[in-house]
Chains A and B, each alone.
Chain A
Amino acid sequence: MTINWPLEVVKAVLAAVIVFTFLAVIGAMLGVLLERKIGGWIQSRLGPKHVGRQGLLQTVADTIKLLQKEHITPHAADVAIFNTAPLIVAVAGLLDWIVIPFAPGLIVRDLNIGVLFFAAMASLTVVGILAGGFASNNKYALLGGLRSASQMISYELPLAAALIAVAMEAGTLSTVSIVEAQARQGWFVIWQFPAFVIFMIAATAEVNRVPFDLPEAESELVAGYFSEYTGMRFALFQLGEYAEMFAMAALATTLFLGGWKGPILPPLVWFFIKMYAIVFFLMWMRWTYPRLRLDQLLNLSWKLLLPAGLVWILITGYRITF
């Protein structure tokens, strides 16, 4: 097997630039705007309204503001780790997208361990969050980082259980093959409904969103692990978080909602319709439910979701064997 290495490197750089731009514009900027508009709508207020038509340019203005801000490094911070942490979070969020199939052929790389790769990259985020929380040398940041670590480690297991059940049903770990298996067997949201529920709850917890936003609970911890970050470094954390959230929505679309398949409309349009439906669902949850307590959060994962996931793996195994 000969590989054209220079070509592969150029392709990798191009793919990274395209995915990053896509995430920064579609994920973070549009995502924040949607978040605020939907939040306003749910809470009977208007949301951003002044910059641009109906506040459409609000997040563009915010991004430009963040780009111009000063980088502040706290006096007692561990500078090397402090500066690296946002990069880890952003890059881990970016790498998730390698295995997401947007349309037939429109995927960075169809790995044969796709789902496993996704879980592995998603698990790297927590290193960045914990490092940022520690390096800030601030008790609230450290508390946020520790909360985040215990939360993300706990919810990785139910998430993995849901992924395993889907992989068993489809008989493959490749995301493209899972989409094709659903074209034959019907959407997995029907056959794998418990896995879908477990996945959605665990995914919400993995991306630290309300009702699982303890790592950055602003009423208790100022802003949690990124309290000390300013300007573009703060924006990188935010970008990583939104990239991760959109990646979870995209993976839910791929694994449970039939991916790009759908009648009449082009595949890419179907993919985005389904992905934004999941994103809307996540935002709806955020503005509806109150935050859990830390013990409730851990109990939910270890005493409910994980056993349910294991039982469901057993049932799926029984079903596909007999």
Chain B
Amino acid sequence: MGELAAFIILSAIALVSAVVVVTSGNIVRSALSLVPTFLGVTGLYILLQAEFVAGIQVLIYAGAITVLILFVIMLTEGGTGLRVRQVNEQVAAGLLATVVLAGLLIGVFLRTDWPRGPGALPQYTAEAIGRTFLTTAVLIFEVTSLLLLVSLIGAIIVARRER
């Protein structure tokens, strides 16, 4: 009962602010609305007992990515970001694509047999996640790190060339 109420409230927070993100004409408001969206999703993670992922979600997405987006908006030359149009003339085509995509996703969701693992979650998920990173998922972990490093170096090179 309480869990259902929490789920509905958190989903409502995430969805309403997500709608503001894609409809607001003020680009800063859009960026700031990302925060409640991320926090709503964080709440859903906690409901799923994935508290480590939830903590990382707040730290990286709500605390850092949003600020990065705001920073970029405020440092970009030209335009205040006010009265930005987020839709173009092709409403019909967009609607069609959305309906098809939604139909596909709902179909997949309904057909998937969501497996319910019999085992209980480990008491301490942070340790389990760390172990997975350094054993079974080590390749993905390393490749992701390399990718981030490459984009970091790329960003520095792009920023330097402007001088």
Residue ranges of A at the interface with B (Cβ–Cβ < 8 Å): 3, 5-6, 8, 78, 80-81, 111-113, 116-117, 119-121, 123-124, 126-127, 130-131, 134, 142, 145-146, 149-150, 152-153, 156, 172-173
List residues of chain B with CB within 8 A of the CB of A142.
74
- 3 residue pairs, one from A and one from B, having the closest CB atoms: A5-B2, A123-B63, A120-B58
* Besides A123-B58, A146-B71, 5 new A-B residue pairs in contact (Cβ under 8 A), listed by A number: A117-B55, A126-B63, A130-B67, A149-B67, A152-B67
Interface size class of chain B, counting residues whose CB lies under 8 Å from the partner chain:
20 to 34
For the complex, would chain B's binding face be called helix, strand, loop or mixed by DSSP majority? helix
Interchain CB contact under 8 A, B52 and A156: no
CA distance A78 to B59 in the complex (A): 26
CA distance A305 to B75 in the complex (A): 26
CB distance from B61 to the nearest CB of A (A): 10
Task: Tell me whether B56 is interfacial, beta carbon within 8 Å.
Answer: yes
List residues of chain A with CB within 8 A of the CB of B26.
78
Residue in contact with A173 in the complex, picked from B59, B75, B126, CB distance below 8 Å: B126
Interchain CB contact under 8 A, A150 and B55: no
List residues of chain A with CB within 8 A of the CB of B51.
111-113
List residues of chain A with CB within 8 A of the CB of B35.
124, 127
Residue of A nearest to B73 (CB): A134
CA distance A134 to B1 in the complex (A): 41
Task: Tell me whether B109 is interfacial, beta carbon within 8 Å.
Answer: no
Task: Tell me whether B114 is interfacial, beta carbon within 8 Å.
Answer: no
Residue in contact with A112 in the complex, picked from B1, B64, B67, B126, CB distance below 8 Å: B126
Interchain CB contact under 8 A, B59 and A119: yes
Task: Tell me whether B62 is interfacial, beta carbon within 8 Å.
Answer: yes
Residue of B nearest to A6 (CB): B2
Residue of B nearest to A122 (CB): B63
7 contacts between A and B (CB under 8 A): A3-B3, A112-B125, A116-B56, A119-B59, A123-B59, A152-B67, A156-B63
CB distance from A143 to the nearest CB of B (A): 10
CB distance from B49 to the nearest CB of A (A): 9
List residues of chain A with CB within 8 A of the CB of B66.
127
Residue of B nearest to A114 (CB): B55
CA distance A150 to B70 in the complex (A): 11
CA distance A150 to B74 in the complex (A): 12
CA distance A81 to B62 in the complex (A): 16
Residue in contact with A127 in the complex, picked from B1, B62, B75, B126, CB distance below 8 Å: B62
Using an 8 Å CB-CB cutoff, how does the interface string of B57-91 with A read, 1 for contact, 0 for none? 01100111011101100110000000000000000
Residue of B nearest to A134 (CB): B28
List residues of chain B with CB within 8 A of the CB of A134.
28, 70, 74
List residues of chain A with CB within 8 A of the CB of B52.
113, 116
Q: Which of B26, B59, B74, B124 has the most CB of A within 10 A?
A: B59
List residues of chain B with CB within 8 A of the CB of A146.
71, 74-75
